Amino acid sequence: MKEYRVGVFGIGWVAGEHIKAYMQNPHTQVRALASRRKESAQAKKDELGLDCDILDDYESLLERDDLDVIDICSPNFLHAQEAVGAAAAGKHVVIEKPIAMNLEELKAIKDAIVKAGVKSQVGFVSRWNPHVRSIRSMVDKGGLGEIYYVEVDYYHEIGPWWSGWSWGANTRKDGPSASLLAGCHAVDLLYYFGGDVDEVFAYGTFGHRKDYEYEPTYAAVVKFKNGKIGKTGCSFENECPYVMNIVLHGSKGSVLNEKFYTKEWYPGQEGWQNFNTIYLDSGDVAHHPFKEMVDDLAEALVNDKETTANIHEAYKSHEICLAIDRSIETGKAVRLPLAE
């Protein structure tokens, strides 16, 4: 049986879930942990009962010839340079989102991965959520007909309570925007359901929070390349529980979050039916399907095929985020693909 040896860098909240997922897959084995704080890596090793090495820095991971995969869970602003380095070292790379702070970094990552011919997986873990998979299956099998409207929003109060606040939340250096920090989850699903985007127009605002260097709330309208439309929004200052809002309208049916309506499949349907599944209803990383993300990576490695959230997919989602930011800054509609 093929086995792929993994090194993880940046041992924080989300890294723990990545590591647990590797431990559950028969094709992956965690061989090394590295962190800017060595004690964090040692504590995670002890907590999970791992048999692996503890390293001082990222470069030490890249120098190891007994590692096939590098998993990057470090602060956001480090992701691009680390991903480029991993690809150049011939390692398959898993990158937590956001993978880049700007278009230049985004292009550099894609170019490095393509040049090296390695596999890539980006942490758009919502794609494997059972509710999302149910909706995607319904779309693919024609249950909603031709999709003409897609709406996905991310509403999650994020403040100093979060362990990543000081290194990855509220500043332009670390965030660097609401869309890239976490709104990208909604943007990725917008693209996942609706396809390529042709144009974006967005507004951003400061509500009642004064501890962000960028607008923590935005709304964006998109026009897809097929001429259909959609909307995505995000807020980190909402005073309510975590919400991922998903609305689709098609020529034969609709989805409204936990409900669906399609006479294509249920001719006698009188009202909404409910999906009986697990929803995107928590910001806790333990709730997210990282096991399925790693299983997808392992299958791609074993069978030499692309992953579901590969660099080409992630590039398009990040490019939409950057277009949202550019539209907020300029007050103008922004067309894709983006120019420098």
In a domain, 92, yes or no: yes
Name the residue among 20, 34, 58 with its Cα closest to residue 295: 20
What pLDDT score was predicted for residue 134?
98
Query: How many CA atoms lie less than 13 Å away from 237 in the CB half-sphere?
Result: 16
Which residues partner with 334 through β-bridges? 200
**Within a domain: residue 221?**
yes
One domain for residues 279 and 162: yes
Q: Is 228 helix (H, G, I), strand (E, B) or coil?
A: coil
Same domain (yes/no): 199, 328: yes
At 107, list the tokens: 């292009």
Q: How many residues does the chain have?
A: 340
The pLDDT profile of the chain, 340 residues, written as one tens digit per residue, is 899 999 999 998 899 999 999 999 999 999 999 998 889 999 999 999 999 999 989 999 999 999 999 999 999 999 999 999 999 999 999 999 999 999 999 999 999 999 999 999 999 999 999 999 999 999 999 999 999 999 999 999 999 999 889 888 999 999 999 999 999 999 999 999 999 999 999 999 999 999 999 999 999 999 999 999 999 999 999 999 999 999 999 999 999 999 999 999 999 999 999 999 999 999 999 999 999 999 999 999 999 999 999 999 999 999 999 999 999 999 999 999 998 7
Bridge-based pairing state of the strands 197-205 and 259-262? unpaired
101 & 242 share domain: no
d(CA 135, CA 248): 9
CA 6, CA 50: separation in Å to the nearest integer? 12
- Clarify whether residues 30 and 153 are in a common domain: no
Residue range 156-185, pLDDT digits in tens:
999 999 988 988 899 999 999 999 999 999
Assign residue 93 the CATH number of its domain: 3.40.50.720
Report if residue 93 sits inside a domain.
yes
- For residue 224, is it within any domain? yes
> 221 and 245: one domain?
yes
Asked if 91 and 221 sit in the same domain, the reply is no
Give the gyration radius of the chain's Cα atoms: 20
Q: What is the pLDDT of residue 164?
A: 87
What is the per-residue pLDDT for 1? 86
Map residue 106 onto helix, strand or coil: helix
Q: Is residue 274 part of a domain?
A: yes
Judge if 17 and 93 occupy the same domain.
yes
Residues 28 and 174 in one domain: no
Is residue 178 domain-shared with residue 267, that is, in the same domain? yes
How confident is the model at residue 37, as a pLDDT?
A: 85
Report whether 217 contacts 235 (CB < 8 A).
Answer: yes
State whether 321 and 174 are in the same domain. yes
pTM above 0.75, yes or no: yes
The predicted pLDDT at position 235 comes to 98
pLDDT number for residue 188: 98
Task: Provide the domain limits for residue 140.
Answer: 127-284+317-335
Could you tell me if 185 and 221 lie in one domain? yes
Whether 340 is in a domain gets the answer: no
